[in-house]
Chains A and B, each alone.
Chain A
Amino acid sequence: MAYIPRSSFIPKEATGAIPMQIKKRHSLHVFGLVSTLMIIGSLVTAVGAFFYKDYEQKQLQIAKDALQTESAQSADNAKKIEEIRRYDQKLKTASNLLGNHIAPSAIFSELESSTKETVQFKALELTYDPGFELMLTISGNSKELSSVALQKMQFFKDNLFTEFVVRDISLATEMPGTDGKTQPKETSSTDGKANFTITGIFDKKNVRYTGDTALSGVTTNSNTIPASDGTPVESNPATSTSNEITP
């Protein structure tokens, strides 16, 4: 027997489903709401942007004014910079000059303390180009050649020179002349008067000006007695006595 479907009392559409007409109306409402929000948002943004631009323009004017005020305050900056630059340059120059400044009186003090008792210095030449070496040439004499050697050793010991040479060594003996006067004669004998010259680079650190040199570095005591021939000799008991400077 064949099955014949019959109409049912159960509705064909599922229960709870929204009817098509109602669904269409709902979507139209959502679309309208979105469009309203968009137009409102767009208008608010446009108005906000308009006023914000106005605000920013005012801020820009304030920033420009601030810069102008700042620059107006420093109208004479170029002059001030030049003044500072000049002062800085002077300080640097002064520092450089004082760094190379020497106290030549200390050279004499050093020589006084290093001169052997039996040696006399007769001539001195000091040359100094600031920033470079201090050259010293001293000529002297002694009764014996050994004194010259001792003087050389003393200079080595005292480190007065960074380097030096002893040159032009000659020895003159006193020969009785026919008229009774003595005649000097160049000889290699050891009993005579040895002349010599010392040339060298004087160590600058011994004579660098320290600011108190005038007070402490230089001995201006009365013990410094010039020899009758003018050669200065320090009457330091450790190194010399005043007796030896008398011709």
Chain B
Amino acid sequence: MMRSITPFLSIIIAVLLFVFFTKPLYSEIRLLQNEISQYKIATTKYSEFNAQIQNLLSIKNNRAASEKERLDLLVPNAIDSTRLLVDLEGIAEGHNLLFGNVSTKGSDVAPTSAGAPEKKDTSTELKTADISFEVIGTYTQFKDFLSDLESSVVLFEVTKITVTAIDGLFQQFAVTVRTYALPK
């Protein structure tokens, strides 16, 4: 009698074991596998992202220091009208031109100080300042001055030139230049 019942019991135990232990365990394993796969994808993407950032940083850092300096001069963080006027006067004096009648339009753009708290909504708009001045000198001197001005590392965009010829060798040229800054 016992001998004929054992196979039935075995089958019942096997089925119960599978249904109540192995199958739930298998479901848990599937969930774990999904989770592992998601973590692996996240890690891969994270490392790809990090690699891309490193790559871009290395491109930036591999630029020559002089090149970076030129870029900072071309698009500075701040407009310092006083310093720009000194530069302009220097260029004018380099060509023996008399420099004067200066006026500026547009306020100086101050750089963000290191200690100051950073604003979340920082304006990345290009700021401009117009500097008007007059120079007195010969036509050739003025042309040479313009040549230097247009090829200056600090960008001076000439926006206005006015000249009315007067008797004599020396002429008075009114010039307006625009300078730019990209505040942080």
A interface residue numbers (CB < 8 A to B): 28, 31-32, 34-36, 38-39, 41-43, 45-46, 49-50, 52-53, 56-57, 59-60, 63-64, 66-67, 70-71, 73-74, 77, 80-81, 83-84, 86-87, 89-91, 93-94, 97-98, 100-105, 108-109, 121-130, 209, 211, 213-214, 218, 220, 222, 224, 226-232
Contacts and interface: CB of A to CB of B under 8 A. Distances in A.
B147 A230 contact: no
A63 B36 contact: yes
Contacts of A77: 49-50, 53
Interface string B69-111: 0011011000000000000000000000000000000000000
Nearest to B38: A63
B28 to A, nearest CB: 6
Contacts, number: 219
A229 B167 contact: yes
A101 B60 contact: no
B155 interface: yes
A130 B39 CA distance: 52
Contacts of A101: 150, 155, 157
A84 B35 CA distance: 33
Interface residues of chain A: helix, strand, loop or mixed (majority): helix
Nearest to B180: A97
B45 to A, nearest CB: 9
A106 B147 CA distance: 8
A218 B143 contact: yes
A74 B53 contact: yes
Contacts of B29: 49, 52-53, 56
Contacts of B170: 230
B165 interface: yes
A105 B143 contact: yes
Contacts of B28: 53
B57 interface: yes
10 closest pairs, A vs B, by CB?
A35-B7, A63-B39, A214-B151, A42-B14, A230-B165, A232-B139, A105-B146, A35-B10, A38-B14, A56-B32
A220 B147 contact: yes
B178 A130 contact: yes
A104 B163 contact: no
8 contacts: A38-B11, A39-B11, A74-B50, A84-B57, A90-B72, A94-B71, A123-B164, A214-B151
B25 to A, nearest CB: 4
Interface string B13-52: 1110110011001101100110110011011001101100
B162 interface: yes
B113 interface: no
B79 to A, nearest CB: 14
B7 A97 contact: no
B47 to A, nearest CB: 6
B46 A104 contact: no
Given A89-B124, A108-B143, A66 B39 contact: yes
A211 B150 CA distance: 9
Contact of B159 (A57, A74, A94, A130): A130
B161 A224 contact: no
Given A56-B33, A97-B180, A38 B165 contact: no
A80 B158 contact: no
Given A56-B36, A224-B143, A67 B157 contact: no
Interface string B146-184: 111111000101111111111111110000001010101
